[in-house]
Every structure is written in C-alpha cells, then in structure tokens.
Structure 1
Amino acid sequence: MGDASSIPLGVRNFAASFASLRLKGCTVYLQRTFPRILQVQYSTTGAIIGLLMEDEASLIFNGMEARPPVLLLVKGTAKCEIVEQQANLVAFVNFDSVDDRGWPGEDDRAQVIGTDYVRFDALRTMLRDVLMLASHSPDTLAQPNVIESIEESMLQAIDLAVAAASPAPEGKRLGLNHYLALVRKFDEFVAVNAGKTLYSADVARQLGVSVRTLHNAVVAIRGMSMHRYMRLRRLWNVRQQLVRIEPQSIKAVALQNGFWHMGEFTSLYRELFGETPQQTLSAARGLPKCTP
C-alpha cells in the first residue's frame, strides 16, 4: 500500500504476521504489528480504509490517539506518522477505485475519523468473516458473483460507518499539521547529521523553534519525549554500525553517537535489544556469542 520504514521500540518477544486477500476490485489485508514508530507513505488509486481489529488496540496517528471505534481513510497519496506502543491487529481494505459514495476527505490526504461503535463493529465482524471464508472455504469465492457480493457488502458497511463519522476539530488538526511538519524536519536534520552528537538547543535553533516547541511536537507525533526519541535513534545507529561495518571499538562507536557513560550505554543497549553490544558485534563477525 506504499513505502514504509519503522523503528522498533524493542526486539524482545518480537513477532509479526501478515495476510492478504485479493478480490476483484480491492485487496483485504490483515496485519499483526509490533511496538514501533512507523513512517509510511500510503498510495492508492481509490481509497484505503483501515481499522483496529481488537478493542484494546491503540496507536497514535499523526499526533492523534486512535482507539476503536475509529477508521483510517486515505485517498490518493498521503504521508503518515504512526506510533504503536503495543502490538496491534490491524485490517485494511484498499479499493482500486471508489465511486462517489460521499466519503469525507480530500485527495492526497489521510485522516482518522470516529464513528459509531455498532457500525464499526459490524464492519470489523464482516472483515473477519470474509477472511475466514477465504481461509477455510476458498472454493466458495470461485462461485459466480460471490466476490462481487462480498465487495458490495463491504462497501455498504463502510458507507454506514462513515455516515456516522466525526472528523477531528479543525483547530486541533491544523495544530498537529504544524507539529508534523516540524518533526519531519527534525528527522531530516538527524539523518543528515547521523553519527554526530546532537544537542537539543542546537537542533531547535537550526529548525528555528524553541526547545519546548520541538519537545512538544515530538511528544505529540512520536508519543515520547524528545530525549527518549533521540536516544532510541542513536541506539539503532549504534546497532547498524556494529552490524554493517568493522568498527575500531564499541566504545568509539558509542562515543560517536553521544553515549559517554559506557555502563549506562551497555544497560540501555541490552534493555532495547536483549543482548550486549559485544554480542551483536560477535554475531556480525560470525563469532560465537559470549554470555557475560
């Protein structure tokens, strides 16, 4: 459905799964995700509808908390910032084309819209039934007009759910759009200066905002403090360097990425990746891991 990259928030008990079902004019996807920061550019010739398949699921979408009953609606191409603090079960339907059905939103835009729980759950149940049918009785889909009937049923269920939609207030959306633009500039700055020690005041000055504004933007869009987010990115930079290149020493890589307290660095690294930096380096070199 587009181009995506993610920063996992942890690797312990890591698991993910994915299924897809191609019908005549749309594709249904089901995905078990993992805790992560996801940057994705959705792209569709028609429209994408996304929904959380479990009541306890939650995520932050472009700075807005999303819990059932909400729908993600994408038309055209739209860049999105998503934070999942937990693993979620998510379903998408990507329609090749959509006639004028009165769905809200503009082209090349993504939005989260709240809806009525009864209609939301009806749509969710229908998608489960469609996937179960394809999984257990695939021959049924080969019967005349079955696929067309399934697609019409899905469209009607979405029509009902969207009819009860209540988009976020315009003022809040405009404020979050400002934060989105700022965080994207922040990410670009961090990427360009990868491997350099960055200080919050210098970064904010380069972006033309206060440290407080930058912090508030990161909290809103990334769901964590600026300090934690920068540390997460630096830890992943260290791991990539240990895996992909032959560093002079682990300490040199840590210092290059702003970690001056080696004991704290090792603890943070082990907490995130479930192993020590030395174990990562040994595995990359094809050496047996040593248990500390």
Structure 2
Amino acid sequence: MSKGLVPEDLPWIATDGSDDRRVSLLDELVESEFVKISRSLDVDRFRSIEGLGDAKSIPIDAKDFDAAFASLKLKSCSVHLQRTFPRILQMQYSTTGAIIGFTMEDAASLIIDGVEARAPALLLVKGTATCEIVEQRANLVALLNFASIDDRGWPGDADSAQLIATLPDRCEALRVTVRDVLTLASHSPDSFAQPNVIEHVEESILQAVDLAMAAASPTPDAKRLSLSHYLALVRKLDEFVADSAGKTLYSADVARQLGVSVRTLHNAVVAIRGMSMHRYMRLRRLWNVRQQLVRGASVQSVKAVALVNGFWHMGEFTALYRELFGETPQQTLSAARKQTSEPS
C-alpha cells in the first residue's frame, strides 16, 4: 500500500507492500467484534455472502471443497474476502451504490459474461445487475460494497456491470489495503475500535479504489456487444431447462424452442459458460441429482433419480458423479438417510 493511502494516525497498518499471506490470508483471519467468518462444511451446505444479492451455484468440481468467506462492515461500506470453488455462478448483484470485485491473486481467473477477468481487471457493479460467472478453479476474491458513491466519478451506468482494466500497481495497492484492513480488524479489534479509525480505514479503501478507477479503461464496447446476444440466449436456455425439470431434453428440440440452430446455441454456451453445451447440460443434470439425493428419505432409489434426470447408463453415471463430487451417488443417499434418521 502506498503511504498516500494510509492516514498517519494508523501506524499499525503495514505500508511496505511486503505481504506473503495472500493465499493463506483467509485461514489466518479470526472472528472478532468486527470480522465475521463463515466456513461451509461441504458443497451442499454452501452459503453465499449475504447482502450482495441472489446467487445460484452449480459446482464444476466438488472434491476437496474448502469454500469460506470473511466479512467486515464499516460505516458505509462492507469488505468481503471469499475463497470460492470451481463452479458456474449466476449472480444478481444488488447495491444502493456500487460493488467492486477483484481477485487477490494474479494467477486467479474467472469468466464473467463471456469475458476472461484476469488481474488487474476489476468488476464494477452499479445498482442491480446480473452476471454469469464461470470459475474453473478455486479463487481468492475480494468484494467491496459501497452504500453510496456520489460524486466519485467512477465509470459505468446505473444498473449495469462491467469489467474494467486498471494498472497492475493500482490493483496491488487495492489488494494490500484490503489485506491490511481485514488483518487489523481481525487481530487488533481494540485498535480498530479507537475513535475515528473506522472512518480513516473507509477513506483509505475509497482512495485506493479512486486511484484504480483513475487508471481504468472499460472492456472494449465491441467485445461486450458481440457477447450480448449469446448472454441473452444462455439465460433463455436456463429458464427453459428450469421450466422443464424432470423432462428429457434433446439439443435439437431445445434449440428449436429457442429459435436458433444447435450450433448457435452451442457457441453461446461455450462463450458464456466456458464449456460445451453437452458438458453444461450434463453438469446441470448431475447437480439436480445431487440435490435430490441429499433429501434422503423422499428418494426411492439412485437409479430412479438418475433416470428422471436423463442418465440411463448407470456405470457411466456413477463414474461421472464420483468424478464431480468425490463419492458415489449411493454414498450421498446413505449419508442423507442416516442424518435424517438420527434423533435431533
């Protein structure tokens, strides 16, 4: 963090930028009066960050699941640090001001509305906006939610989301600010509770974002426009699949219902979801099976659930399920039934 971002009456915040905790920061944080930490036991009980909007996740790989997040509420903004998992995320953000999202690692990568978001890219959301996000790997992500951003001159229209490229050093300064603020609030709550400290911390965060935005340039309009049709098509596909729960869907029939060719539909899914239409539809069906099996008592048999969701080859189905969730369908069902039968 550059010294210009830190008030002189906050000497306990490191300013030299030498921080090797980037990967393990979330594990090093502890709950305090100010920092709240949520760790999900497994993918079935994963809980999204509250206050950012409505989220729906479909796991791409649920083995070695280790998702968690930390939250810090200030006067007029909140700071969130999240360790994610490989997934497809349909996120409807909602804020009275703006949400700023960015990865805490250069190696991290997400696809947002068909555009790869690598550092030093920032996600800027104003008002209410829906984003289609694909994470092929677990990432460490920071999210800042500002209640108001009046007169700060940040780009973007109301009720919109866009990726903005800033300079690497400005992105890193923002990361360091977030790390130091969370560490202070977690490990030194007495210092954090001193008069005016929260106000100073909030101003430091705002200044770091201001500097990043001052060096920012939006993703080229041509790229966004070329994906807008695909984005709308994939959202229609998801609505159609949700309305057709329990029915066997064939690609030609789906494409016909949506008024496009199979190739166009395939290209749209590849652009927005980062995978073939076949794999995406199979992933959705596997996740539907999982959600039904964890209900336990209401499930007649694994085979019955598999067939309803379009899996007729039991050997292949079991292998696909084990590869995604790290256990067999029968193990999932047995564990759910055992939990249901145990006295509360």
- In the other structure, the counterpart of 2:272 is 221
Taking the aligned partners of 2:54 and 2:140, their CA distance within structure 1 comes to 20
| Cα shift readout 1:76-96 (whole Å, capped 9, x = no counterpart) | 011111111111111111111
Q: 8 Å contact 1:113–1:165 — kept in the other structure?
A: yes
- In the other structure, the counterpart of 2:229 is 178
Q: Which moved more, 1:270-279 or 1:4-13?
A: 270-279
Q: Per the alignment, in what secondary structure is the counterpart of residue 94 of structure 1?
A: strand
- In the other structure, the counterpart of 1:206 is 257
Taking the aligned partners of 1:123 and 1:240, their CA distance within structure 2 comes to 38
Percent identical pairs in the alignment equals: 77
* Residue 14 of structure 1 pairs with residue 62 of structure 2: no
Q: 8 Å contact 2:62–2:85 — kept in the other structure?
A: no
| Cα shift readout 1:30-84 (whole Å, capped 9, x = no counterpart) | 1111111111111111111111001111111111100110111111011111111
Match of 2:100 among 49, 73, 78: 49
Q: Per the alignment, in what secondary structure is the counterpart of residue 281 of structure 1?
A: helix
- In the other structure, the counterpart of 1:277 is 329
Q: Per the alignment, in what secondary structure is the counterpart of residue 255 of structure 1?
A: helix
Structure 1 residue 280, shift from structure 2 partner: 2.0
* Residue 130 of structure 1 pairs with residue 158 of structure 2: no
Q: Per the alignment, in what secondary structure is the counterpart of residue 298 of structure 2?
A: coil
Structure 1 residue 246, shift from structure 2 partner: 3.5
Taking the aligned partners of 2:332 and 2:196, their CA distance within structure 1 comes to 54
Q: Which moved more, 1:10-19 or 1:145-154?
A: 145-154
Q: 8 Å contact 1:48–1:93 — kept in the other structure?
A: yes
Structure 1 residue 240, shift from structure 2 partner: 2.3
- In the other structure, the counterpart of 1:29 is 80
Match of 2:319 among 263, 267, 270: 267
Structure 1 residue 205, shift from structure 2 partner: 0.5
Q: 2:291 is matched by which residue type in structure 1?
A: Q
Query: 1:1-292 counterparts in 2 under 5 A?
Result: 1-244=52-295, 246-286=298-338
Aligned residues: 287
Taking the aligned partners of 1:42 and 1:27, their CA distance within structure 2 comes to 14
- In the other structure, the counterpart of 1:290 is none
Q: Which moved more, 1:93-102 or 1:277-286?
A: 277-286
TM-score by length of 2: 0.80
Taking the aligned partners of 1:249 and 1:120, their CA distance within structure 2 comes to 51
Q: 8 Å contact 1:53–1:89 — kept in the other structure?
A: yes
- Quote the RMSD (CA, aligned, Å): 1.4
Q: 8 Å contact 1:195–1:237 — kept in the other structure?
A: no
| Cα shift readout 1:235-292 (whole Å, capped 9, x = no counterpart) | 11222223336344332322222212221111111111222222222222229xxxxx
Moved over 4 A (4+): none
Taking the aligned partners of 1:223 and 1:71, their CA distance within structure 2 comes to 20
Q: 1:266 is matched by which residue type in structure 2?
A: T
Q: 1:49 is matched by which residue type in structure 2?
A: I
Q: 2:326 is matched by which residue type in structure 1?
A: G
Q: Per the alignment, in what secondary structure is the counterpart of residue 286 of structure 1?
A: helix
Structure 1: 5+ residue stretches without partners: 288-292
Structure 2: 5+ residue stretches without partners: 1-51, 340-344
TM-score by length of 1: 0.94
Q: 1:255 to 1:124 in 2, by over 3 A?
A: same
Q: 1:284 is matched by which residue type in structure 2?
A: A
